[in-house]
């Protein structure tokens, strides 16, 4: 039974989640209905983590659960929902990138079947997601924000959205602004948000999933555990958020024939407490702590 669940758990959660999203987006209250579908998917993964965990010690409390949930609500919830609804984020984007938005190109292939439009949006957005993620690892200015996400010492479904808000805004900007400029309709943003949401809880869940050939198409838990490794030769790989096409193209794909790492985290230190974690990257001593450098007395 456990082997069977390991084989079907990834496609079960992902494709049933998208099916639920289809009915949610067709309802009279699409966002509320989608939140309910998402909650069911999180609950399912939470139960699977206890029945077929990848790493049993990750089931133990690490004292960061409240902070993980708060970051998820603020960044994954607030930023992505606002962008998804096409309200606040386009206004901010128009203010910051007004010269570009004046020359907006309404060239989105609206006549194409919806499934192909979503696939196209995922690929276009993934290019921005890949480079924003890679830049966050290769440039210290951005790493000071992204380190919050990598500071966890265990992976489980709740810390999926543990991102600094500045990190999330950077990712949203690089991935979604091209879609706004191309004139993608609101429904495409809904579906992009759904794909990213379900992929996020899957890549971070502590479930022993056998993903096989899926590892060469999608960002899977196996690949993402390597990405969280303390060993930088392993951790600075697998930047794809939804799909791995750009990791394969740019040589950052990493999938050795052995169990993926459970030695995760960063060499620096993240502040205790939600508000302190948000403020830490903006102070000189905070940056030194994040980078693992000694502070001045």
Ranges 1-10, 85-94, 150-159, 249-258, most confident: 249-258
Better-scored residue on pLDDT, 88 or 269:
269
Q: Do the beta carbons of residue 43 and residue 16 sit within 8 Å?
A: no
The pLDDT value given to residue 32? 84
Better-scored residue on pLDDT, 282 or 297:
282
pLDDT in tens, 13-23: 999 999 999 99
Q: How confident is the model at residue 88 (pLDDT cuts 50, 70, 90)?
A: very low
Q: Collapsing DSSP states into helix, strand and coil, what is residue 264?
A: strand
In the chain, what is the straight-line distance between the N-terminal and C-terminal CA atoms, in Å? 57
Q: Is the model's pLDDT at 82 over the cut of 50?
A: no
Round the average pLDDT of the chain to a whole number and report it: 85
Where are the chain's structural domains?
A: 2-291
The pLDDT value given to residue 297? 39
Q: Do the beta carbons of residue 42 and residue 157 sit within 8 Å?
A: yes
Backbone conformation region of residue 213, classed left if phi is above 0, alpha if psi is from -120 to 50, else beta: alpha
Backbone conformation region of residue 108, classed left if phi is above 0, alpha if psi is from -120 to 50, else beta: beta
């Amino acid at each position: 039974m456990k082997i069977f669940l390991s084989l079907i758990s990834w496609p079960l959660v992902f494709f049933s989640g998208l099916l639920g999203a289809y009915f949610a987006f067709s309802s009279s209250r699409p966002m509320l209905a989608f939140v309910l579908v998402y909650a069911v998917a999180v609950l399912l993964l939470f139960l699977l983590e206890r029945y077929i965990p990848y790493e049993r010690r990750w089931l133990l409390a690490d004292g960061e659960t409240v902070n993980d949930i708060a970051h998820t609500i603020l960044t994954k919830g607030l930023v992505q929902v606002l962008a998804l609804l096409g309200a606040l984020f386009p206004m901010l984007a128009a203010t910051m990138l007004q010269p570009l938005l004046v020359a907006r190109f309404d060239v989105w292939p609206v006549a194409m079947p919806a499934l192909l439009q979503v696939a196209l949006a995922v690929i276009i957005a993934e290019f921005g997601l890949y480079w924003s993620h890679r830049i966050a690892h290769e440039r210290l200015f951005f790493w000071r924000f992204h380190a919050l996400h990598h500071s966890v010492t265990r992976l489980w479904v709740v810390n999926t959205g543990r991102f600094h808000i500045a990190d999330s805004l950077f990712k949203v900007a690089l991935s979604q602004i091209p879609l706004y400029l191309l004139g993608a309709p609101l429904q495409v943003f809904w579906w992009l948000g759904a794909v990213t949401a379900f992929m996020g809880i899957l890549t971070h869940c502590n479930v022993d999933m056998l993903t096989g050939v899926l590892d060469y198409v999608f960002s899977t838990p196996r690949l993402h555990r390597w990405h969280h490794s303390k060993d930088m030769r392993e951790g600075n790989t697998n930047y794809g958020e939804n799909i791995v096409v750009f990791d394969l193209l740019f040589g950052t794909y990493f999938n050795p024939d052995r169990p993926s790492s459970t030695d995760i985290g960063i060499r620096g230190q993240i502040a205790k407490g939600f508000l302190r974690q948000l403020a830490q990257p903006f102070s000189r001593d905070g940056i030194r702590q994040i980078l693992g450098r000694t502070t001045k007395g």
